[in-house]
């Protein structure tokens, strides 16, 4: 039994069983790509993105990995390097696309067994360092008997996942427990924030991006109070900028400052992302903010209208602007 666990949301109890075959021509090295050899890798480029409400982007409840097999042989020491699954087989390290065909044995949050198959693996073209891989996991739909993806499709139609160290609890907080591994689908904000540049295993100017990734997940879901509740609509366009900067604001966009974010939720709010009578912040959340006209610590050109009580400016890591969004 493996010590590593993967949390993954799936939606069916009858999942695909079987042994995979090792692809002898697979990329097993995982050697990073030189970012200087790739076009368009400037880390200070502005970014106009589509956020969403899903944290993980998968089809159902959480699963934990009980074992992984490839070619009918169990793999050991499963772990994550960057956003790449790495394990040890009888002939040594197995990584990269060599894990195509692997069967993942899991148990859901009630202890019921399930399995999924890694149908495809590719380097993530959104990561110029080459450290991120996208995994296509499939299982059998018990209603139709057809193979379906474990991930919901993202706006481009892709349904892939990338692995991340640790797990995220019901409040959206990152929890690092032993060798736990989570798979974030590209339709969810865990993967989106990685692909936008906040790769939690990296450092920029000596600063870890782990807290920036966590703050990004709060921002992407408009989780103002850091309790796991989202106050936005899928597909809303946002402009993201931060202290370092990994992403810089685009002054040509017709968008207005909305909020500044910490790993625990909003630091301050100028206005809510969506003006909606059905989506007002509850008193349990809004009472955490006090009216205060303050300069945004991330960008002095912005003014906050309300600030979270007790939040120090040093925790404010990134900000976003949006257009005017109204839904009655």
- pLDDT score of 279: 58
- CB neighbour burial string for 242-271, b if at least 16 within 10 angstroms, e if fewer: bbbbbbbbeeeeebebbbbbbbbbbbbbbe
pLDDT digits (tens, 9 = 90+) for 18-66: 233 233 233 333 333 333 333 333 333 344 455 566 777 776 655 656 6
- pLDDT score of 63: 62
Point out which residues pair with 303 in neighbouring strands: 295
What does the alpha-carbon distance between residue 183 and residue 315 come to, in Å, rounded to a whole number?
27
Tokens 């992302």 correspond to 273
Confirm if 286 and 229 have CB atoms less than 8 A apart. no
Full pLDDT tens readout for the chain, 328 residues: 333 344 443 333 333 322 332 332 333 333 333 333 333 333 333 444 555 667 777 766 556 566 678 887 789 998 999 999 999 998 899 999 999 999 877 655 566 777 789 999 999 999 999 999 999 988 888 788 888 888 889 989 999 989 898 888 889 999 887 777 888 889 999 999 999 999 999 999 999 999 999 999 999 999 999 999 998 888 888 999 999 999 999 888 888 999 999 999 999 999 988 876 555 688 889 899 999 899 999 999 999 999 999 999 999 999 999 987 777 5
> How many CB atoms neighbour CB 216 within 10 A?
31
- pTM, two decimal places: 0.82
- How big is the chain by its Cα radius of gyration, in Å? 20
Strands 303-308 and 265-269: antiparallel
Confirm if 124 and 195 have CB atoms less than 8 A apart. yes
Q: Cis peptide before 279, with omega less than 30 degrees from 0?
A: no
Residue 193: which of 25, 317, 278 has the closest Cα? 317
- pLDDT score of 146: 87
Q: What are phi and psi of 236, to 5 degrees?
A: -65, 130
What does the alpha-carbon distance between residue 178 and residue 194 come to, in Å, rounded to a whole number?
21
Tokens 């006090």 correspond to 290
- pLDDT score of 54: 74
Report in angstroms the alpha-carbon separations of 40 from 33, 116, 122, 198: 14, 35, 20, 16
What is the separation, in whole angstroms, between the first and last Cα of the chain? 52
Confirm if 54 and 94 have CB atoms less than 8 A apart. no
What does the alpha-carbon distance between residue 217 and residue 226 come to, in Å, rounded to a whole number?
10
What does the alpha-carbon distance between residue 45 and residue 53 come to, in Å, rounded to a whole number?
25
- pLDDT score of 121: 97
């Amino acid at each position: 039994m493996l010590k590593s666990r993967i949390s993954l949301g799936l939606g069916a109890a009858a999942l695909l069983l079987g042994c995979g075959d090792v692809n002898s021509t697979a990329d097993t090295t995982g050697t990073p790509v030189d970012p200087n050899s790739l076009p368009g890798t400037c880390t200070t480029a502005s970014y106009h993105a589509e956020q969403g409400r899903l944290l993980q982007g998968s089809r159902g409840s959480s699963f934990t990995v009980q074992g992984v097999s490839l070619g009918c042989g169990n793999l050991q020491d499963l772990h994550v390097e960057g956003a790449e699954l790495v394990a040890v087989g009888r002939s040594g390290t197995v990584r990269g696309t060599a894990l195509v065909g692997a069967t993942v044995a899991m148990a859901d949050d009630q202890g019921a067994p399930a399995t999924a198959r890694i149908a495809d693996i590719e380097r993530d073209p959104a990561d110029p360092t080459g450290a991120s891989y996208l995994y296509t996991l499939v299982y059998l739909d018990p209603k139709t008997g057809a193979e379906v993806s474990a991930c919901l499709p993202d706006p481009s139609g892709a349904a892939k996942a990338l692995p991340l160290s640790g797990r995220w609890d019901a409040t959206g907080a990152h929890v690092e427990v032993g060798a736990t591994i989570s798979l974030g689908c590209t339709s969810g904000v865990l993967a989106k924030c990685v692909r936008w540049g906040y790769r939690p295993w990296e450092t920029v100017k000596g600063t870890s991006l782990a807290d920036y990734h966590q703050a990004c997940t709060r921002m992407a879901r408009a989780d103002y109070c850091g309790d796991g509740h989202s106050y936005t609509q899928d597909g809303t366009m946002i402009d993201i900028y931060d202290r370092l900067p990994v992403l810089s604001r685009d002054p040509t966009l017709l968008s207005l400052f909305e909020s500044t974010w910490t790993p625990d939720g909003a630091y301050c709010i100028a206005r809510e992302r969506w003006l909606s009578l059905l989506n007002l912040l509850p008193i349990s959340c809004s009472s955490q903010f006090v009216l205060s006209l303050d300069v945004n610590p991330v960008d002095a050109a912005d003014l906050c209208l309300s600030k979270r009580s007790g939040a120090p400016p040093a925790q404010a890591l990134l900000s976003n602007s949006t257009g005017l969004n109204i839904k009655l």
